[in-house]
Amino acid sequence: MAPIHLFDYYYYREASPEEFGAFYSAHHQRMFEHLIAIPLEPYMTGAELQRRQEYDAMVSAMYELRLFILHKDEVIGWHVGRQAQRDSANMSNTALFDPHRGRGVYSAVIRAALELYRAQGFGRVLSKHHASNNAVLIPKLRAGFQITGFEIDERYGLFVNLTYFFNEQRRNTYRFRTGALRPDEEISKYL
């Protein structure tokens, strides 16, 4: 895929699984040097690890989006997302090198990724982040994501779960369910 313009000298392009995997492996530690993650694998039995490999083989047929984020011709970050359910994609991980943070690049990548997920026919996009990660939570909320839950993950800690609804009626139903909206005519049919 040819690079797609975000703004100024920032672009994104799709990456093959091989090139994405190599870049991610080489730079993951640098991007997340302060993250404390407790691995699960040491606690898993051989049978559990085998089932995980079998499951990974099954889900490999599901949609994946791997993007490199570029400044001029240099890769300065990435976005990876996967199909989570039949009609849901999950924005799994986005990262930018320090000099490019706080410049609006992340917000532009959110908008671009949402359009790519919409084009694939997903009804919603899921995302979860550490509860204290305002650098990510605020742009996601500004982009139209809604808080849909909280989760305590044994590896990483407390997460805020976010969901972006492409369909306005689905978004209104969410807002009704959370008490932020009176039922409209469409919702009233089901009460």
Going from the N-terminus, what domains does the chain have, and what CATH number goes with each?
Answer: 4-34+49-182 (3.40.630.30)
Average pLDDT of the residues in 52-78: 89
Cα(79)–Cα(66) distance, integer angstroms: 6
What's the full length of the chain, in residues? 191
| Alpha carbons 52 and 47: distance in angstroms, whole number | 9
Instruction: Tell me the whole-structure pTM to 2 decimals.
Output: 0.86
pLDDT of 105-123, one tens digit each?
A: 999 999 999 999 999 999 9
Nearest 5 degrees, angle CA 164-CA 78-CA 55?
A: 70
Sorting pLDDT into bands at 50, 70 and 90, what band is 42?
confident
Residue 41 — pLDDT band, cuts 50, 70, 90? confident
- Cα–Cα distance measured from residue 112 to residue 110, given in angstroms and rounded to the nearest whole number: 6
